[in-house]
Amino acid sequence: MSRADFQQRLAERALHALTGRGECRLRRSEQEARQHIVTVLKAGDEELRQLDLEAERLFSAHKSQLPPGSDHQRALAMIRRRLAEQKGIVL
């Protein structure tokens, strides 16, 4: 299943979860609401992609300062987590 298919299915399930129990009403058509959810999901994916690129740039710039035998994946994960906290991104 492609990422786009996954996003479509997730949007569909979210929409039905919200409207199926009568907890909310749509001001637009289901199709427009579903497309808006997909747009929000894509924006979140892009935000995470940019965060990963920035974390990799910072890691590359400072990896020579790491002590020998350091776990590079762990260091990269720590950088990513700190950047996310600074930017208010939920991982």
Tell me the two tokens of residue 70. Answer: 């350091």
pLDDT at 22: 81
Q: How far apart are CA 43 and CA 49, in angstroms?
A: 10
Domain ranges, ordered by start, for the chain = 3-87
Residues 79, 58 contacting (CB under 8 angstroms): yes
pLDDT at 32: 95
Q: How far apart are CA 17 and CA 57, in angstroms?
A: 40
Residue 14 confidence class, pLDDT cut points 50, 70, 90: very high
Q: How far apart are CA 9 and CA 3, in angstroms?
A: 10
Structure confidence by residue, pLDDT tens digits, 34-45? 999 999 999 999
pLDDT at 21: 79
Q: Measured between alpha carbons, how far is residue 23 from residues 8, 14, 49, 58 in Å?
A: 21, 12, 33, 45
What's this model's pTM, rounded to 2 decimal places? 0.79
